[in-house]
């Protein structure tokens, strides 16, 4: 039955492609429901990008390559996902449509490239790279052209563009240990907002831009914290790392580095802690889909 359906689908698709004359559809692609979470999982033998519901039901696999694929991040319209892949030896930012089509290497550079985050207008992607002296934050058009460097002076990584477009947060060790910095999208006004002795990393803006989740080891093991956009009112939420906010700002998904790692969810206000994967496979780097486009 399944084979018959596949054959029928092939025939229908083949007919469509022939009539359109191109493998690139011109109609807008459907965006993912807001409850969808993209993540990296090891269930097929090596890390691949998957989509699941926010209750852990697997919806789709988006990548199929023996190399490491992880760290997905959504375009603001929920139609595309950028991710980090080691299918070239240096590591690249790839992009794929939320239906698994349209895979493209955006960086194609012999240095490390990763840590992608989209601008809220969908036109640009900020990322980290060590292609020139030091590891800096760079910005490019969403098609991979027009690369510009935004930061120098330390090892800078994990950029995150705020959803109102006014700021980019990132991790830097320029002051001696890892801190969360914020800057304007043109690279001006780079400011350390954590100033703490531990390693602060992986900033994630709340949808309203008022808060940042991040990871810190300031009390020993890595934990997810929330602070306001000025770096004040710091609250510890749960042991783990790699935080990502739900589109309504009420919940934060994160990784707990157990063996194998699992994806957990906690209320942004605290409480409600739950493991949503609980499989015998690794699940990590969750990315909650943006609010559904109207």
Instruction: Extract the runs of DSSP E, i.e. beta strands, from 86-185.
Output: 92-97, 104-105, 113-118, 124-129, 136-141, 148-149, 156-161, 168-172, 179-183
- Please, which residue, 46 or 152, has the CB nearer to Ca ion? 46
Residue 152 found at the interface with Ca ion (CB under 5 A): no
Locus of tokens 């012999």 = 110
- Please, which residue, 28 or 176, has the CB nearer to Ca ion? 176
| Alpha-carbon span 68 to 77, nearest angstrom | 26
Binding part of the chain for Ca ion, among 72-80, 83-91, 156-164, 243-251 by CB under 5 A, reads 83-91
Residue 69 found at the interface with Ca ion (CB under 5 A): yes
- Please, which residue, 163 or 172, has the CB nearer to Ca ion? 172
Per CB under 5 A, the list member of 31, 36, 109, 124 interacting with Ca ion is 109
| Alpha-carbon span 189 to 198, nearest angstrom | 23
| Alpha-carbon span 216 to 196, nearest angstrom | 9
Report which DSSP code applies to 19: H
Binding part of the chain for Ca ion, among 3-11, 22-30, 107-115, 142-150 by CB under 5 A, reads 107-115
Residue 200 found at the interface with Ca ion (CB under 5 A): yes
Residue 158 found at the interface with Ca ion (CB under 5 A): no
Residues 6-25 that bind Ca ion (CB under 5 A): none
Question: Do β-strands 148-149 and 136-141 pair in parallel, antiparallel, or remain unpaired?
Answer: antiparallel
Residue 246 found at the interface with Ca ion (CB under 5 A): no
Return residues touching Ca ion (CB under 5 A).
Answer: 46, 48, 65, 69, 90, 92, 109, 113, 177, 179, 196, 200
């Amino acid at each position: 039955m399944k084979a018959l359906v596949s054959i029928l689908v092939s025939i229908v698709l083949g007919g469509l492609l022939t009539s359109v004359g191109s493998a690139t559809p011109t109609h807008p692609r459907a965006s993912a429901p807001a409850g969808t979470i993209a993540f990296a999982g090891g269930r097929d033998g090596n890390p691949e990008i998957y989509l699941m519901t926010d209750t852990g039901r697997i919806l789709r696999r988006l990548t199929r390559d023996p190399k490491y694929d992880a760290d997905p991040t959504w375009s603001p319209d929920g139609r595309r996902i950028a991710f980090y892949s080691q299918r070239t030896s240096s590591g690249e930012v790839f992009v794929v449509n939320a239906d698994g089509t349209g895979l493209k290497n955006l960086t194609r550079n012999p240095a490390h490239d990763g840590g992608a985050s989209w601008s809220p207008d969908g036109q640009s992607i900020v990322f980290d790279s060590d292609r020139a002296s030091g590891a800096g934050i760079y910005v490019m058009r969403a098609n991979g052209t027009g690369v510009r460097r935004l930061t120098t002076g330390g090892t800078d990584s994990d950029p995150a563009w705020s959803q109102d477009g006014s700021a980019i947060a990132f991790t830097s060790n320029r002051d001696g240990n890892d801190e969360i910095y914020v800057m304007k999208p043109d690279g001006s006004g780079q400011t350390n907002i954590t100033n703490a002795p531990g390693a602060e990393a992986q900033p994630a803006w709340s949808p309203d831009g008022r808060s940042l989740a991040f990871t810190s080891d300031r009390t020993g093991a890595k934990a997810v914290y929330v602070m306001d956009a000025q770096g004040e009112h710091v609250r510890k939420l749960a042991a783990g790392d790699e935080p990502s906010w739900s589109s309504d700002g009420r919940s934060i998904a994160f990784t707990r580095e157990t063996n194998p790692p699992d994806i957990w969810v906690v209320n942004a206000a605290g409480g409600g802690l739950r493991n949503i994967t609980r499989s015998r496979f690794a699940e990590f780097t969750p990315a909650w889909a943006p609010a559904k486009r109207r």
